[in-house]
Amino acid sequence: MSGKEAYDAVIALTDVYTDTKGIRDFEDAEDAKKKMREWVGNNPKFYPHAASYEFEAWLLPFWSTIQKLAKHNKSAPSGNPEKVNHDNPPSQRIKEIFELGKSSRSYNKARDAKKILEPNDLMDAIEACSELKAFINTILSLSGGDVIP
């Protein structure tokens, strides 16, 4: 394979909150996927996905681990992790517990996301987060694996 068609699939993942210069690019996950499809055009090998509202929503099911790392017992946000927002997105909630806690540091996505995920079963987040499940199922399906029902 070579040239423009030298790929089997392109999987795109964005946060709903990209917030470029105070401007929100997307209203929700469906809007993000729709706009990405429009940007790419009619391409059956393109699979857009969006973390709703951002990647950190997928960490919220592991709040007890977040509490341990932050060294604080602040209560978990209630409800569906992908619906947690109310002008206080998941990354800000995680940052807040780290800064309230005795960990003496703020939340850092690159460092702390791995520490939050490592001791946990990703299936817990997949079951709680439909956008994460769709993203994982695209990867599984394209690689010949069994999708998660």
- How does pLDDT run across 2-28, given as a tens digit for each residue? 667 778 999 999 998 877 676 778 989
The one-letter code for the residue type at 140 is L
**How far apart are alpha carbons 85 and 99 in whole angstroms?**
19
Percent of the chain with pLDDT over 90: 79
**How far apart are alpha carbons 122 and 34 in whole angstroms?**
27
Q: From residue 35, how far is each of 39, 50, 100, 114 by CA, in Å?
A: 6, 11, 38, 30
pTM above 0.75?
yes
pLDDT band at 87 (very low <50, low <70, confident <90, very high): confident
The better pLDDT of the pair 6, 124 is held by 124
What is the reported pLDDT for 20? Answer: 67
Q: What is the chain's mean pLDDT, rounded?
A: 92
**How far apart are alpha carbons 5 and 147 in whole angstroms?**
26
Average pLDDT over residues 117-129: 98
- Counting every residue written for the chain, the total comes to 149
In the predicted structure, residue 1 carries a pLDDT above the cut 70: no
Average pLDDT over residues 69-73: 97
Choose among 44, 31, 42, 36: nearest CA to 13.
Answer: 36
Q: From residue 37, how far is each of 20, 41, 45, 62, 79 by CA, in Å?
A: 20, 6, 11, 32, 30
In the predicted structure, residue 146 carries a pLDDT above the cut 90: yes
Domain residue ranges in the chain? 3-54+130-142, 55-128
Burial of 43 per CB tally in 10 Å (0-12, 13-18, 19+)? exposed
What is the reported pLDDT for 95? Answer: 96
